[in-house]
């Protein structure tokens, strides 16, 4: 990793010329760690993951069962509301559309929103249409390695955008992908989560800088 500030600025200028750097953002070569509260520890023999709510049948997976689900690798840019952006990141995990296509998860027509349930009762919310995009992944690996604890081990949601789809008007800030994921609730109604209730923008689109609500 090249941490030379001149090299970083040169790389940032290149990304900006390509139209991939959203307003108010700066390129980082690091992977900053940002979360509220402590980092959980796991015994994966006792870990489980649930999908429930507006589905035909709730499903539950152990860790071993989850790893047998169809996996894919996705390369995308990620953008944090705290103004850093990281480009060409590689993630590996489960895309929800694959589970639906294979009949593993069957949504009801009433499912309109997805609530991500994480450790310590943390939640965040995303509309169904965005959650089903190929740039939303239930990730277990980053850059070819298992997630580390600070970045959401063993499972997190990742939201980003493809570099080919620069200036995607629907791309979302990175906090819309919850760390330490334990369940997905498909819901009829929207349910703003921890940061949304604290004043962060409920939708969180990157390019129009939907960072905060109201007078923030």
Give the domains, in start order, of the chain with CATH numbers: 22-32+43-197 (3.90.420.10)
- With beta carbons less than 8 A apart as the criterion, state whether 184 and 116 touch: yes
Q: What is the DSSP string of 80-102?
A: -TTSEEEEEEEEEEE-HHHHHHT
**pLDDT tens readout for residues 16-59:** 999 999 999 999 999 988 777 789 999 999 999 999 999 999 99
This prediction has a pTM of: 0.93
pLDDT at 15: 95
Q: Please give the structure tokens belonging to residue 65.
A: 């069962």
Residue 163: which of 24, 26, 9, 19 has the closest Cα? Answer: 19
**pLDDT tens readout for residues 171-208:** 999 999 999 999 999 999 999 999 999 999 999 999 99
Q: How far is CA 7 from CA 4, 16, 17, 35, 150, in A?
A: 5, 14, 15, 28, 27
Beta bridge partners of 85: 27, 79
Measured CA to CA, the distance from residue 98 to residue 85 in angstroms comes to: 28
Reply yes or no on whether the pLDDT at 100 is more than 50.
yes
Q: Among the residues of the chain, which ranges form H helices? A: 5-17, 63-67, 96-101, 128-131, 194-197
Average pLDDT on 92-115 reads: 98
């Amino acid at each position: 990793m090249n941490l030379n500030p001149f090299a970083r600025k040169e790389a940032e200028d290149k990304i900006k010329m390509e139209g991939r750097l959203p307003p108010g953002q700066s390129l980082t070569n690091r992977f900053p760690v940002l979360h509220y509260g402590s980092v959980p520890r796991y015994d994966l023999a006792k870990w489980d993951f649930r999908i429930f709510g507006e589905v035909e049948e709730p499903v539950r997976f152990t860790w071993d069962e989850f790893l047998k689900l169809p996996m894919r690798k996705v390369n995308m840019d990620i953008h944090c509301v705290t103004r850093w952006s990281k480009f060409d990141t590689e993630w590996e995990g489960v895309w929800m559309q694959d589970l639906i296509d294979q009949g593993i998860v069957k949504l009801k027509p009433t499912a309109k929103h997805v609530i991500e349930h994480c450790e310590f009762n943390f939640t965040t919310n995303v509309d169904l249409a965005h959650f089903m995009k190929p740039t939303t992944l239930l990730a277990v690996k980053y850059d070819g390695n298992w997630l580390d604890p600070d970045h959401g081990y063993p499972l997190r949601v990742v939201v980003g955008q493809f570099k080919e789809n620069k200036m995607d008007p629907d791309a979302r800030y990175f906090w819309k992908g919850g760390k330490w994921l334990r369940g997905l609730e498909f819901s009829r109604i929207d349910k703003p989560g921890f940061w949304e209730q604290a004043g962060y923008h409920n939708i969180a689109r990157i390019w129009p800088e939907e960072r905060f609500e109201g007078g923030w």
